[in-house]
Structure 1
Amino acid sequence: MRAPDPEFLRTTRASYDAMAEDYTDRFADGLSDLPLERALLTAFAELAAGPGGDGTARPPVADLGSGPGHVTARLHRLGLPVFGVDISPRMVALARAAHPGLRFHVGSMTDLDLPAGSLGGIVALYSIIHVPDEHLPSLFAEFHRVLAPGAPVLLAFQSGAEDGTLHLDERFGRAISLDYYWRSPGSVTAHLGKAGLELTAQVMREPAGEEKRPRALLLARRPQEPSRRSQQEP
């Protein structure tokens, strides 16, 4: 029997179900005013579309915490085979309606129903922000499990010089119960390293528009596995 979801997953699901329509209206194209995020998605797409270690094409990539589906749609336009995963059934329904040609699934990034090594990349833009610190090691271990060797990861999250939290009981006039975690790039990079994922690039930008905190964007990857020949060399 599968263990019950942790409390933070239940409250995150319920909160986004409650505000799904309002959130989608506000962020239907959440990348329109974010040129740096768009540029890094393009870089991610180039990395993910490269040949695999055996010369074959990469497997599909996953947009985790896909929300309204705009990031999934952009990755599709960049030429990647891609699907979205979101904890909120209502968010998934709205994403499917807005992007009928793409795949969206209800699920949790903490426990992906995918075979080991089956993904050619992971994008998680502003979705690890609801994962408590004590669950980050298992989250990034799950990323490592499902990624193919050499596959990239792109993360974006609210940041600052120190880690911190914020709790909201209301958003868009809806009653919710949602915790937000902001983290320094160094703390997230440390968790990635412990999970066997290596950092390849780090970008910080100042708040834009209505944003109140700096944004961190990290590119990482699951390292390529050494060839049998290199393992045998002295």
Structure 2
Amino acid sequence: MHLTDEELRALVSRTRRTYDESAASYIRTTGTLDKFPGLDRELDRFFEALPGNLVLDVGCGAGRDTAYLIERGAVVVASDVSGEMLRHTRGRCAVFGAVQCDLVALPLAAGVFDGVWACASVLHLPSVTHLATFAEIHRVLAPGGVAGISLKAGTGEGWVHDDRMSSPRWFSLRSPDAVVEELVAAGFGSVRVSPSGRGTWFVVEAVKA
């Protein structure tokens, strides 16, 4: 699949509108950890692997994971493509900062964060952009920093409609092995895949050498 820059911008813009317009229903159905069995353990594992406490939550949504990480002792910068989602996150918890942006080009300094948490966010970009996205995550991490990235296993990609949202969202299903290869190509050293307890979702944990 090939995308022009204009097509990618249009896809990101459509995703932004979907989350802005469907914020209330999305928060109602995804806003608490009890709706996602095992996610708290994944967050605990990520937090315990951090070399420090400064975390970037990329695709923070309405702050569910951000709030949990802050409770654990992390200092969190929240980031999301949706301004409406960021507004809810700022109202929910005491974030260190909030940045509206997309994953392909993070407007953040290099080598700053001890961890980057990207829960169900990278998969909303076409798979051809994932290597560049992983490189951006690698860039903003400090040496020894940890990335936690959740994705859905499978093949194929495209717009998918579900009951949570008023409009379709883009989903890219990925092979865990292919994701590991791309993370290594992006510069990560240690990379580990862990299955979640939620269907075909999996979490990749990668460390910047």
- Inter-partner Cα distance in structure 1 for 2:104 and 2:60: 14
Q: Structure 1 residues 172, 136: CA separation in 2 closer, same or farther (over 3 Å shift)?
A: closer
Distance 1:203 1:122 in 2: 17
Change (3 A) 1:173 1:206: closer
Give the 5 Å matches for 1:144-223: 144-160=138-154, 163-168=155-160, 171-172=163-164, 174=166, 176-205=167-196, 207=198, 213-223=199-209
Contact kept, 8 Å, 1:11 with 1:177, in 2: the verdict is no
Q: Name 1:90's counterpart in structure 2.
A: 84
1:37 CA displacement: 2.3
Distance of aligned partners of 1:173 and 1:113 in 2 relative to their CA distance in 1, 3 Å threshold = closer
Letter in 2 for 1:193: V
Query: Cα offset for 1:59?
Result: 6.0
Partner of 1:37: 39
What secondary structure is seen at the aligned counterpart in 1 of 2:34?
Answer: coil
From the two aligned structures, give the one with the greater helix fraction.
2
Partner-residue secondary structure (3-state), 2:77: strand
Matches within 5 A, 1:54-65: 58=52, 60-65=54-59
Query: How many corresponding residue pairs?
Result: 203
TM-score, L = length of structure 2: 0.88
The sequence identity of aligned pairs, in percent, is: 27
Q: State the one-letter code of the partner of 2:39.
A: E
Alignment partner, residue 68 of structure 2: 74
Q: Distance in 1 between matches of 2:145 and 2:124?
A: 24
Name the amino acid aligned to 1:186: D
CA distance in 1, matches of 2:35, 2:23: 21
User: Judging changes above 3 Å, is the alpha-carbon distance between structure 1 residues 171 and 17 closer, same or farther for their aligned structure 2 residues?
Assistant: farther
Q: Which amino acid aligns with 1:132?
A: P
Larger radius of gyration: 1
In structure 2, C-alpha distance between the alignment counterparts of 1:205 and 1:119, rounded to whole Å: 25
Query: How many Å separate the matches in 2 of 1:173 and 1:9?
Result: 16
Report the alpha carbon displacement of residue 93 of structure 1 after superposing the two structures with TM: 1.1
Q: Deviations over 1:174-227 (max 9, x none)?
A: 2x24211111211111111110113432112454xxxxx41111111111xxxx
Q: 1:195 to 1:105 in 2, by over 3 A?
A: same
Q: Distance in 2 between matches of 1:114 and 1:45?
A: 21
Q: Quote the RMSD (CA, aligned, Å).
A: 2.0
Task: Write the letter of the residue equivalent to 2:151.
Answer: F
| Cα distance in structure 2, aligned partners of 1:112 and 1:165 | 23
Tell me the CA shift for residue 141 of structure 1: 1.1
What corresponds to 1:135 in structure 2? 129
- Which aligned segments of 4 or more residues in structure 1 are displaced greater than 3 angstroms? 169-173
| Mapping for residues 92-107 of structure 1, pairs under 5 Å | 92-99=86-93, 101-102=94-95, 103-107=97-101
Give the alignment's TM-score, normalised by structure 1. 0.79
2:119 is the alignment partner of 1:117: no
The amino acid across from 1:150 in the alignment is G
Assess if the C-alpha contact under 8 Å between 2:53 and 2:74 holds in 1.
no
2 CA distance for matches of 1:144 and 1:41?
19
Report the equivalent of 2:16.
Answer: 13
